[in-house]
Amino acid sequence: MKPKVIVYKKADTRILDYIADSCEIIYFEELDSEIYPVFLEELKNAHGLLGSGLKVDKELLNHAPQLKIVSNISVGYDNLDMAALTKRGIMATNTPDVLNDTVADTIMGLILSAARRIPELDQWVKSGQWKSGLEEKWFGVDVHHKVLGIIGMGGIGSAVAKRAHFGFDMEILYHNRSRNEDAEEKYGATYCTMEELLKKSDFVCLMTPLTPETVNLIGKKEFEFMKESAIFINASRGRTVDEEAMIQALQKGHIHGAGLDVFVQEPVSKDNPLLSMKNVVTLPHIGSATYETRLKMAMTAAENLVTGLQGEIPPNLIRK
Ligand code: DGY
């Protein structure tokens, strides 16, 4: 009998066909409150779970006595209670590497947009306000030859460093749990303490995964270390930053601006003060969201799922 898997996210037919070769699929394009009880019922007999963002905790696992593998279509796995999964001997997998270049492109987009005020000027032009020459008040700041501080020099951090070094002649500083000699050699990245990085960087780019250790990693003290001209970029998770402290830092002019792909609450509330700040560029958590990369991520996740259900070690098993 084929193992039963639940796919709880809209998936391309190529992904579904691949999984269907060896598994029986229960497919939910999305999980809304109406469908959720049906999903829970199906979970009782499911051996695999594939999708992204679903909170997989003890409570959910109590509904899943047969579950063998949870395959996330994302590199981040802060939605998974790894201790609860490990205790029950359930494998968990993610999709690293395939998204590095795409997320790095998004980050460079945020850096350029915030520095050169691209969304703000776009609105200005489209609203018919460009009536004469450009006044100095619309000028931005340079990106090239500036100092870029990368917090979290993993695959995505390295892809950003590559772009910044070769494309923009930037000086790269980084802070990471361990040294990344490859980035040092290839992109001239210099390892430094968090404080040194924050004090010296023109652009501070946060790319750490969300873990209990990185919750509110950047707070009031860290914003105070930054230059008044600094632009802060967050493309990790909203909760790696104390959002209230960031709002204060922007309102009080402790930093110059920000480019944000992630928020504490997603979708972000329309009352969030960040949304009314001209010096803040916002995106709806689209770091990896291109057709090509999302397809690659889904296929990587499907391969992890199928391999795990065939009794082998999946290529991207999360080891804690
Ligand atoms: C990831 O892969 O973790 C992206 O942030 C999408 O959630």
What pLDDT is recorded for position 286? 97
| Atom 7 of ligand 1: nearest residue by CA position | 74
- 78 and 135: one domain? no
Helix/strand/coil for 25: strand
Domain identity same for 92 and 104? no
159 and 52, same structural domain?
no
Whether 160 and 199 share a structural domain: yes
User: Is residue 319 over pLDDT 90?
Assistant: no
User: Model confidence at 39, in pLDDT bands (50, 70, 90)?
Assistant: very high
Preceding peptide of 267 cis, ω within 30°: yes
How many whole angstroms separate alpha carbon 318 and alpha carbon 315?
Answer: 9
Q: What is the mean pLDDT of residues 164-169?
A: 98
Which pLDDT score is estimated for 9?
Answer: 97
Query: Does residue 261 sit within a domain?
Result: yes
Q: For 95-144, write each residue's pLDDT tens digit.
A: 999 999 999 999 999 999 999 999 999 999 999 999 998 899 999 999 99
304 lines ligand 1 (CB under 6 A): no
276 lies in some domain: yes
Q: Rounded CA gap, 241 and 239, in Å?
A: 5
On whether residue 222 sits in a domain, the answer given is yes
Specify the residue with its C-alpha closest to ligand 1, atom 1. 74
- Whether 254 is a known active-site residue: answer no
> Does residue 287 line the site of ligand 1, with CB under 6 A?
yes
Torsion sign over Cα 300, 306, 308, 310 = negative
> Residue range 153-172: average pLDDT?
98
Instruction: Compute the radius of gyration of the chain from its Cα atoms.
Output: 21
Give pLDDT, residue 317.
98
Q: Is residue 320 part of a domain?
A: no
Residues 169-176: what's their mean pLDDT?
Answer: 98
CA-nearest of 207, 205, 124 to 168 is 205
What is the dihedral sign for C-alpha 216, 221, 223, 225? negative
pLDDT digits (tens, 9 = 90+) for 235-278: 999 999 999 999 999 999 999 999 999 999 999 999 999 999 99
Cβ–ligand 1 contact at 74 (below 6 Å): yes
Average pLDDT, rounded, for the chain = 97
Same domain? For 151 and 237 the reply is: yes
Band of the pLDDT at 45, cuts 50, 70, 90?
very high
Residue 256 and residue 107 share a domain = yes
Q: Is any ligand 1 atom within 6 A of the Cβ of residue 72?
A: no
User: Which of these, 76, 25, 116, 71, lies nearest to 207 by C-alpha position?
Assistant: 76
Percent share of the chain, pLDDT over 90: 98
On whether residue 318 sits in a domain, the answer given is no
Predicted confidence band of residue 51 (pLDDT cuts 50, 70, 90): very high
What range defines the domain where residue 185 resides? 100-282
The reply to whether 163 and 246 lie within a common domain is yes
Query: Do residues 168 and 270 share a domain?
Result: yes
**Domain containing 64 — which CATH number?**
3.40.50.720
The minimum-distance atom of ligand 1 relative to the CA of 94 is: 2
The answer on 130 and 76 residing in a single domain is no
Q: Which of 227, 203, 213, 205 is nearest to 158 (CA)?
A: 205
Backbone angles phi and psi of 165, in degrees to 5:
-75, -55
What percentage of the chain has pLDDT greater than the value 70?
Answer: 100
Q: Are residues 113 and 247 in the same domain?
A: yes
- Domains contained in the chain, number: 2
Cβ neighbours of residue 302 under 8 Å, at least 6 residues apart? 15, 18, 19, 50, 71
- At 292, which amino acid appears? E
The larger pLDDT score, comparing residue 133 to residue 154, is at: 154
Predicted pLDDT at 282: 98
**Cβ 200 vs Cβ 174: under 8 Å:** no
Residue 182: pLDDT band (50, 70, 90) is very high
pLDDT of residue 84: 97
- Does residue 117 sit in the same domain as residue 251? yes
Residue 125 domain-assigned? Answer: yes
Q: Are residues 112 and 68 part of one domain?
A: no
Q: In Å, how far from its chain's centre is CA 179?
A: 22
Strands of the chain, DSSP E: 4-7, 24-27, 48-51, 69-72, 91-93, 147-151, 171-175, 190-191, 203-206, 231-234, 257-260, 280-282
Q: How far is the CA of 75 from the centre of ligand 1 (A)?
A: 5
